[in-house]
Amino acid sequence: MSTLTQLTINKASINLFPNPTADYFQISGIDDTALLTISDLNCFVLLKKQITNDENIQISHFRNGVYIAKIVTGSGTVERKLVKK
């Protein structure tokens, strides 16, 4: 007999700040490293990179608007709305 374990991420602990932002933002609440994907509302991927906790992520070259930040860790996946002003 086998058991199935599911790793979970504390979604409330993952934060993007400052949000809204003009130039850059940081993500807190990541234990180790994570894969960050930023997409526009049409699901077009604008940025995909490995990140660490509190790393500055530059988005000054993005147009003003609303984006989706997807953070994938070993414990799970979180999506957050990101506003570029």
Q: Are 29 and 17 in contact (CB under 8 A)?
A: no
Domain count, the chain: 1
Q: Is residue 6 situated within a structural domain?
A: no
| Token pair recorded at residue 27 | 């993500």
Q: Torsions phi, psi of 83, nearest 5?
A: -110, 125
pLDDT digits (tens, 9 = 90+) for 14-59: 999 999 999 999 999 998 899 999 999 999 999 999 999 889 999 9
The Cα 11–Cα 36 span in angstroms is 15
The Cα 61–Cα 82 span in angstroms is 14
Q: Torsions phi, psi of 11, nearest 5?
A: -65, -30
Residue with tokens 């992520």: 57
**What domain range includes position 51?**
14-84
Single pTM value for the model: 0.85
Residue type, 20: P
Q: Is residue 44 situated within a structural domain?
A: yes
Provide the CATH number for the domain around residue 74: 2.60.40.3080
Q: Is residue 34 situated within a structural domain?
A: yes
Decide: helix, strand or coil at residue 13.
helix
